[in-house]
Chain A
Amino acid sequence: MPILEVRDLRARYTSGGPEILKGISFDVEADDFFAIIGPSGAGKSTLIRCINRLVAPSSGSIHFYGDDVIALSGRELRALRRDIGMIFQEFNLINRMSVMDNVLSGRLGYTGNLRTLFRAFPREDIKHALELLHRVGLEDHVDKRADELSGGQRQRVGIARALMQDPKLMLLDEPTSALDPKISREVMGLIKSMAKEFGVPCLCNIHDVHLAMEFCNKIIGLQDGEKMFDGPTERMDQEKLDEIYAMEVL
Chain B
Amino acid sequence: MSNSAPSSEMGKTSVVDALLAERRRQRGIHLVIVIVLTLLVAWSVDVTVIQDTDWERMGSLAEVLKSAGRFVSVDWALFPKLVEPALETFMIACLGTLLGVIICVPAVWFGALNITPFKPVTYPLARLMMTLSRSIHEIVWALFFVAVVGLGAMAGIFALAVRSVGFIAKMSAEAIEDIDPGPVEAIRAVGGNGFQVLLYAILPQVLPQVLGVIIFEWEINIRRSAVLGLVGAGGLGLVFFRQMNTFNFPGVTTVILAILAIILVGEVVSYFLRKEVI
Contacts and interface: CB of A to CB of B under 8 A. Distances in A.
A192 interface: no
A165 interface: yes
A97 interface: yes
Given A90-B182, A92-B185, A109 B192 contact: yes
A111 B199 CA distance: 13
B187 interface: yes
Nearest to A101: B200
B233 interface: no
A150 interface: no
A73 B188 CA distance: 13
A96 B193 contact: no
Contacts of A93: 183, 186
A78 interface: yes
Tell me which of B185, B186, B190, B192 has the highest count of chain A C-beta atoms within 10 A of its own C-beta: B190
Given A88-B185, A96-B207, A161 B190 contact: yes
Contact of A113 (B189, B196, B205): B196
Contact of B201 (A54, A83, A94, A106): A94
Nearest to B198: A116
A117 interface: yes
A176 interface: no
B199 A81 contact: no
Contact of A108 (B182, B200, B204, B205): B200
Contact of A78 (B193, B199, B201, B205): B193
Contacts of A165: 190-191
A109 B191 contact: yes
A116 B190 contact: no
A171 B190 CA distance: 11
A105 B189 contact: no
B196 A94 contact: no
Given A108-B200, A113-B196, A116-B196, A94 B191 contact: no
Given A54-B185, A92-B182, A92-B185, A109 B190 contact: yes
A25 to B, nearest CB: 23
Interface string A147-170: 000000000000001000100000
A84 interface: yes
Given A92-B182, A93-B183, A116-B199, A86 B193 contact: no
A95 B179 CA distance: 12
A81 B204 contact: no
B187 A108 contact: yes
Contact of B195 (A94, A97, A107, A113): A113
Given A79-B191, A92-B182, A116-B199, 19 more contacts: A54-B185, A81-B191, A88-B182, A88-B185, A90-B182, A93-B186, A94-B204, A96-B204, A96-B205, A96-B207, A97-B200, A97-B204, A105-B186, A105-B192, A106-B190, A108-B191, A113-B193, A161-B190, A165-B191
Contacts of A54: 185, 188-189
Q: Kindly name the residue among B183, B189, B193, B201 whose own CB sees the greatest number of chain A CB atoms within 10 A.
A: B189
B189 A86 contact: yes
Contacts of A82: 190-191
Contact of A116 (B186, B195, B204): B195
